[in-house]
Chain A
Amino acid sequence: MSPALIVLLPFAGALLTMLAAGRGRAAVAGGAAAMTGLALAGLCLHVPAILQGQTVASRLDWLPQLGLQASFRIDGLGLLFGLLILGIGLLIQLYARHYLAPAEPVVRFYSFLMLFQGAMLGVVLSDNMLLLLVFWELTSLSSFLLIGFWSGQAEARRGARMALVVTGMGGLAMIAGLMILGHVAGTYQISDLLAARGAIQSSPLYLPALLLILLGAFTKSAQFPFHFWLPHAMAAPTPVSAYLHSATMVKAGVFLLARLWPVLSGTPEWFWLVSGTGLVTMLLGAWVALSRDDLKALLAYSTVSHLGLICLLLGLGTAEAALAAVLHILNHAIFKAALFMTAGIIDHETGTRSVARLGGLRRLMPVTFAIGTLAALSMAGIPPLNGFLSKELMLEASLHAPGIGWAIAATLSAALSVGYSLRLVRAVFLGPVRGDYPRPPHDPGAGLWLAPGLLVALVVLIGLMPDQAAGWLVRAAATAVTGAEAQAHLALWHGWSGALGLSALAVAAGLALLARRGVWQLPLPDARRIFDRVAAGVLRLARLLGDGLGNGSMARALAALLVVILACAVLAYAGPGQPALTRPMLPAPPVAVIGWLVLMLACLAMTACHRDRLLALVLVGIVGLMVSGLFLYLSAPDLALTQITVEVVTVILLLMALNFLPRRSRRGSAGARRGFDAGLSVLAGLGFGGLAWVVMRSQPELPSISGYMLRNSHALGGGDNVVNVILVDFRGYDTFGEITVLGIAALVIFALAQALLAGALPRHPVRGPGDHPQMLAVVARLVLPMTLAVGLHMFLRGHNLPGGGFVAGLIVAAALMAQYMAMGQAWVQDRNRLAWQGLIGAGVAVAGLTGIGAWLAGRPFLTSWHDKIALPGLEPFELASAMGFDLGVFLCVLGAVMLALDALARLARALRGAPGAKEAEWNS
């Protein structure tokens, strides 16, 4: 089975569980388990190949330009983690089926769980760092969802948020670190990257990359000082704690360390940072675990401690230590998952997880007692269980590390481990039977104890026959980590060695520790309070910044934006690389100077009198007219036509809107504010005008791509008006999008008007039209057919001469608008049979179908066709399929403009009928 498919199966399972909703817990869990089992079987098929030293890969180019490939690869390390994720996942699904009450949202639980499973598999099987990062963030997100599963509890919400913040922050750092690594190595493929050890370690960017990557790994694997989120994550349902927060997700960090071990390890920085952090975490976690009262908290701190141990081993940088680390990853996952499940059973059956309220369960829950005790003894490192093996290897590796300190610390940690493991057994199972359990305890059904039971069987099996049961897997994984063939033979009995002596010492010290009634508490600060305080501080800062910039005043936000743009402009103007202003200027004829003067004066006058709305509107019309004239003079007849028709339509629209507004607006801002804004605006004007000056006076740095369009307009597009050919042919896709947007804008206007009409109508005085002037009515009716003819003409000639669908649509719209103005909205609306929305839809459809027509000829979307047509009685003429597209443009523009206008008109009509509306003259 392809590695990519193996990763995809759990995601498919997440969907499947949702489909199974409503069919009961068994169906949901069964669906999830089926997919997990399928993926597990697929993975197992690869075992023989991988044991022979091969790797299995699948690769799909995703965004090769960014170095992003959807490539997956299974090697020994991936296999070990994949088996853990899927194997323990399967057991967890069985366990959770019986753990969760029927009333709980089981579907949600299983789909989140499958989502996590897929993400975690993705992390361990990705062969591309960018892909790995995507999955990495997905594990953080799914962990967030699972910790917060009981979202009704404040504790769960807080724990989920804390975990997300800490691991998410680390994830961000790691993105940066891995990007640096990819940059240095020149590849994002992990398999290629692993060969670039020399280049990476000699790069000056090695240390920053290492620090950032370690930040990601340490936060994920709960290393000091980021360990605090893990105990708070225990608010999750116990199956989640067993799966994510002991066996798999928290191992993602150490997985990454192991994955990158060949390129990052072996330097003093790596040694001290990784081993040092691991050492502190290991001792701290173990010490705190000694005194926890909550069973799950105790286990969480012990997980922190064991993760520290794995970290320490990876940090030592020797192949021997790496093998020990790999073995302990496996062993810890097995016994800790069993322990968490046991804690869940105890919680489930007795109603408490508090050590102080338990005791004597040995007789009441013998099966649970057996499972829990074996798992705890393995955690303590007692032979002949699997925990003993990895502890021996760990002590051995610490003896070989430089300095005696490592061996002392390792022994101390082993002793503490014995202490808290045995304390757990003693406090929960031993002692007299009590009479005050919250619930009368008894062993659960097989559904609950089967999963931990199987794990404990593995604990014993690996302990007794390490080489047969796990040696192959551990050797394959260690080979993948170190890159050198691992030869170690795992055996329970290693002979009399230094490690054995330390081990015995540790057990003795642990028993002594147990004999003491209380232990000295570490003066640890309350991590949660610190976290909350920091989070609140950051929030306050963000709010301060947000409120300062955006206090709800758009003017202030825009001013801030302008200031930033101006600062960028200053930098650009001051920077090097200014182009030479060598392009000769065109002469300015007097008529252009007059037009310029009118434009400048109109702008100034409008700014000065903008509160007088009608006057401002007249002035804006003048400005628009001047701009159109400019386009005409500067050889852009199409633009001039479009600008002037848009101008007409806009002014009419604004006039209609003005109908509802008071004639003058009130002054909105104080004098100082206006002065500041004026200064800012003058600077903006100078900057933008200056930019235009520089652009027009300098030669283009690159040749324009217009040459191609000019050359091929006739041959490919069948038209002589290149602007129109660009619109309907070369860049037809853009235009297609654009008319769609225009149509949507018109529909938004329509919807807004509908909403206003549906709401309570206001009691503002509304000026409405009185009598419609007879002259205007007559002229408008007279002009209509002529304008329509002009529109048709503009449309037909558009492909070869200035004109086209946009202009024609606007002209026809203007002609129809004139009817509204002359005869009144009511008159027109009563006679209009066209639904403007339909026109928009028809326009988009016609344009789209014309484009699709190209498919029939086996060409890409919107490829145009053209030919000479000879009809009897007419001169031969050129016909292009682009005309169909232009027809769509025409219909859409017409529909959009008319729909907007019609919406305003209906609003006006309704308001006039509203109580309190005051009749006034339209043209007063």
Chain B
Amino acid sequence: MEFLIASAIGMLTACGCYLILRSRSFAVVLGMTLLSYAINLFLFASGRLAVAAPPVLGQGSAPGDPLPQALVLTAIVISFGMTAVTVMMALGAHLSGGDDRIDMPRADRVPPEERE
């Protein structure tokens, strides 16, 4: 089981990294989603894996480690918020610029007083 999780984390990371290195906004959003999965899984796994041991008291068996779960739970919600903001920004850029490239053209990087 540990191998499955580790390889899944590896795959999610690799695909996530590849996608965020694209220069189109949608791919970056997808890549970030995959990366968040990878990181959430990793955080979760740092509490070590356990089967049939939910961290709920009074359920008989020894409960699992609740702390990574609490951390990951908030992380899931926050990454939703981040995705939503990114999507909105990508959308705004696309609608006002007519393009979904995320690179900044040189003209936008040079401060106004240094432009020829």
Show the binding face of A for B, using Cβ within 8 Å: 551-555, 558-559, 562, 583, 585-588, 592-593, 596, 599-600, 603-604, 606-607, 610-611, 613, 616, 620, 623-624, 627, 630-631, 633-639, 642-643, 646, 649-650, 653-654, 657, 660-661, 665-666, 668-669, 677-678, 680-682, 684-693, 695-697, 700, 704-706, 709-710, 713-714, 720-723, 726-727, 731, 734-735, 738, 741-742, 745-746, 748-749, 752-753, 755-756, 759, 762, 764, 800-802, 806, 810, 893, 896-897, 900, 903-904, 907, 911
Contacts and interface: CB of A to CB of B under 8 A. Distances in A.
B80 A654 contact: no
Nearest to A686: B10
B57 A593 contact: no
Given A657-B87, A710-B57, A721-B56, A685 B2 contact: no
A693 B21 contact: no
Nearest to B21: A677
A749 to B, nearest CB: 5
A890 B98 CA distance: 37
Interface string B33-71: 110011011101111111111111110000111110110
Contacts of B10: 685-686, 688-690, 692
A800 B108 CA distance: 54
Nearest to B62: A710
A606 B29 CA distance: 12
Given A620-B34, A692-B9, 10 more contacts: A599-B11, A606-B30, A610-B22, A610-B27, A643-B76, A653-B83, A661-B91, A669-B23, A695-B46, A738-B74
A607 B23 CA distance: 14
B77 A642 contact: yes
A688 B88 contact: no
Contacts, number: 318
Contacts of A720: 56-58
Contacts of A613: 26
Nearest to A809: B77
A755 B91 CA distance: 12
Interface residues of B, number: 89
Given A604-B15, A696-B48, A638 B73 contact: yes
Of all A-B residue pairs in the complex, the 4 with the closest CB atoms, nearest first, are: A689-B10, A685-B14, A552-B104, A745-B81
Interface of B: 1-24, 26-30, 33-34, 37-38, 40-42, 44-58, 63-67, 69-70, 72-74, 76-78, 80-85, 87-92, 94-96, 98, 100-106, 108-109
B3 to A, nearest CB: 7
Contact of B88 (A704, A713, A741, A752): A752
Nearest to A742: B81
B64 to A, nearest CB: 5
Contacts of A551: 106
Given A555-B103, A603-B15, A756 B95 contact: yes
A553 B63 contact: no
Given A681-B15, A713-B57, A723-B70, A558 B77 contact: no
A896 B92 CA distance: 19
Nearest to A804: B73
A634 B18 CA distance: 28
Contact of A639 (B28, B29, B73): B73
B13 A685 contact: yes
A749 B88 contact: yes
A552 B109 contact: yes
A799 to B, nearest CB: 10
19 contacts: A552-B103, A554-B23, A554-B102, A554-B103, A555-B21, A603-B12, A630-B41, A631-B44, A653-B83, A669-B23, A681-B13, A681-B21, A688-B42, A706-B65, A720-B58, A722-B57, A727-B74, A745-B81, A745-B85
A726 B67 contact: yes
